[in-house]
Every structure is written in structure tokens, then in C-alpha cells.
A and B are shown apart, each in its own frame.
Chain A
Amino acid sequence: MSKRALLLLPVMLLLGGCETLMPEPWVKPYERHYLADPIMSFERDPVAAGYMNHVYEAREAARGAEGGSGGGCGCN
């Protein structure tokens, strides 16, 4: 075995081990009825959520990381 292959061995062992270390998805598709409820979405109404981000961004210096409804207002 060449020196390069020896160097790669720990990496391969680590990657191989990942599969067994990786947990199984713990919430099954049939257990998601609570999460599927519309009241569980972060923002139910994109039109109103986008507007509120615009209200905040125009009056506070902070911007960004608003989640799905962010993106800047193109105004000064």
C-alpha cells in the first residue's frame, strides 16, 4: 500500500463509519399531522409577511435573515 493510500485510510474509515453513526430520521411521514397543520407554518400569508419585513427594514438598520419572505425592499 502506498503512503498516499495509508493517509486516506483514516478518512475512509471515518466516512464508512458515518453511515452507522448517522441517526435514522426520527419523525416518520405518518407522524407529521401536527406539523402539517397550517397554523404550524412560520408565515401563513406571504403577502403580509413580506410587507412586515419591508416595514421593519425601512425603519430599523438591521436587514437579512428574515427566512423565506425576506429579500430587500429596493427603497431608501
Chain B
Amino acid sequence: MAVTDVKRLLSLLAVSLLTTNAFAAVLPEERADTMYHAYSGGGVTIDGPSVLVRKNIGNSVSLSANYYVDMISGASIDVQATASPYEEQRDEFSLGADYLVEKTTMSLNYTNSSESDYQAETVGFGISQDFFGDLSTLSMRASYGSDTVMRNDDGDFSDFAEHRRYSLGWSQILTTKLIAELSVETVSDEGFLNNPYRSVRYLNPGTELGFSYQSELYPRTRNSDAVALRAKYMLPYRAAIKSEYRRYADSWGISSNNLELRYTHPLEEKSLILEGKLRFYKQAGADFYSDLFPYADATNFRARDKELSDFTTTAIGFGATYQLPERWALFNRRNTVNLYWDYIFFDYDNFHDVRVHDGSTDYLPGEEPTYSFNAHVVRLFWSMWF
């Protein structure tokens, strides 16, 4: 047998082994990722590191650990209108374990998040099962989070929030080139759910600007449902497209739709994988949201958080993954460097920019221009497979 035939036979064998394992239940890949992330927009910069390591013990246990930091600086429009710029840091630690038995994977995870005025702990349990010749995977996950909410400027203030999340996922291989996934998730919150620093404004003709501020007041429960359908398709040449649609609704009257399209194109000879994406999000806000209430204590609940208003976001993103050549690869492992950048435009329909009143009396309350801003989101990371 010629050497080329032996090589061809070995490569066929490798492909068949790989493809057999690719969709039977397997443990996640063993890898380490070190990332710098940055979000910059609307007067705020949030950046920091994230390190994620995943390692197997034997053939049936996979352990993971993540350390993540958000360093927040600057002043968002809320802060510019009613408070001073600030700096803050959030540290998050996560530990996870996956246990594989035949076609079933069970997972446990714990997350601890800590800020000067917010402490959160979450525990979760998940199970997934492959069946129908490994064409289908059914997964379920439940988690419970317990938070303590505090105020930096009021040592006596302390309250709690609890979060219960239940999700169900069905992934299905439909053809040799098409895979789809249906996800549903219900979330139930209870406790102090608003930001303790944020205010709403109301008409107050007796003041110079014609309006005043009072604290937000949210309901102490919130229940939401989300359903998402995503699919990935291999094109006739080696490139893939992903589409995703999600519908969301909750007991606060918020509903939203989002759509994402992604194109992934490898350039094998250059060891590159290029990616481009578009994402659209449209939201109808909460029943108790108003940019300007008619008077103080006008409603039982009140919010002026722009995240609870009517708005749309439009995002475009590009990214590249470069596999390092062997001479540069650390520890003789597969190494990649990755850079992803997203540009997001936030456009609010009923959140007005009150900063126009600064030194000007040209605008009547409620007639200020609506607010919009853009943000840049960067992920720069190095990945190494063990």
C-alpha cells in the first residue's frame, strides 16, 4: 500500500472517530481562555478581565472555573442628570462540574458576584440527555439566586432579591448540514428589584425647570417567559450561517423580539476564521414606566429606567480568530488569539434627554429630544486547548 493511501485511510479513520464523538454525549472541550472585555458607550466604560479554565478528571468529570471582573467608570445619563460620576468594581467567581454517564450529562454550578452595594449567589443544576440516534438532545436547567441589595450612601439600607430560573432546551440535527435548537426559559423574581439610586421625574410647576425627582418604586415580584429558536446551516462551501429569533414577555408588561444573523467564514490557508453579525432588538416597555409622571406618587409603581422604556437596539459586529502557527504555540498546544468588536446603537422612543435643561430654558418638560447613544463592545482573548 502506498504511503498516500495509508495517510488517506488514517485521515478517514480520524474523521469517522471525530464525527462519531461530535454528537454523542461528550464532555466539553478542555481549554483555558483569558479575555479582556470592554464596553464603552453612553458616558460609561466597563472593562476588565475574564479567565475561564475547563479541565477533565478521567473520562466522565469536567470541572470549570471562571473569574470575571467588571470595572465601571464614568457617568451614564442617569448619573449626569441626578448624581456624580463614580467608579465601581464587580468581581464574579464561578465553579462548575459536569458528570457524564453514557448519554446523560449532569451539571452543577455555583456563582458568587460581589460589588460594594450588591452581593449575589447563584446555584444551578442541569441535566441533558442525547437520544434518537444522538440526533436529539433534551436539556433542563434550574437555578436559584439570592441577592443582598445595599446602598453605598445609606448604611442602614439592606434588602433582598431572589431569582428562580427554569429552562428547557431541545436541539435537533435536521439534515447533514442543518442543526436547530428550541429554548424556553421562565424566570421568577421576588424582592427589591429596582436600582436603589435611580429616580423618576414628575411635573412640578412650582420649580424652575418645571419638574422634580422622587425614588423609583417597582413591584416586588416579576415573572417572565422567553422562547428562542436558533438554527445553524453549513453553506455549499465551507462557511456557516446562524439565525436566531427570541420572543420575551413578562408580568411588568414588557415584551420584546430580537433577531440575530451571523456568518462564519474560515480562511484555512491563513489559519483565520472571520465572523460578521447583525442583531436587532425591539422592546415595548413596562406598564409603570414613564419619562414624566403628572405629579408625585401618581401611580402605585413608578420607573424611569431607560432599560424599561420603549426602545430599539441595532448591532453590527465583526470578529476574527487566528490559530497561532506551531512555532509560536505555547506548550505545543493549539492556541488561538481572537478579536471581536460590536457596534450597538440604542434608540429610545420615550426616554427624554433632560441634560438639555443645563443652562437652557428652551424646552418644556416632556418636550426634550429623545435619547440615543452608541456603544462599542470589544472581546480580545487568547485560548489554549489542553
Contact = CB atoms under 8 A, between A and B. Distances in A.
Contact of A64 (B121, B133, B187): B187
A48 B377 contact: no
Given A35-B173, A36-B22, A72-B122, A55 B256 contact: no
A73 interface: yes
Contacts of B234: 34-35, 37, 39-40
A55 B179 contact: no
Kindly state the interface size class of chain B when it binds its partner: 35 or more
B134 A29 contact: yes
Contacts of A59: 307, 313, 346
Given A35-B177, A63-B224, A67-B230, A47 B167 contact: no
A75 B256 contact: no
A5 interface: no
A64 to B, nearest CB: 3
B266 interface: yes
A64 B176 CA distance: 29
Interface size on A, as a range, is 35 or more
Interface string B318-349: 00010000000000000000101010001000
Interface of A: 24-37, 39-42, 44-48, 50-52, 55-56, 59-68, 70-76
Interface of B: 15-16, 18-20, 22-24, 28, 33, 35, 37, 39, 50, 52, 66, 68, 70, 90, 92, 109, 111, 113, 115, 118, 120-122, 124, 132-135, 141, 143, 145, 147, 149, 163, 165, 167, 169, 173, 175-177, 179, 181, 183-187, 195, 224-228, 230, 232, 234, 238-240, 242, 246, 248, 250, 252, 254, 256, 258, 264, 266, 273, 281, 283, 285-286, 307-308, 313, 321, 338, 340, 342, 346, 377, 379, 381, 383
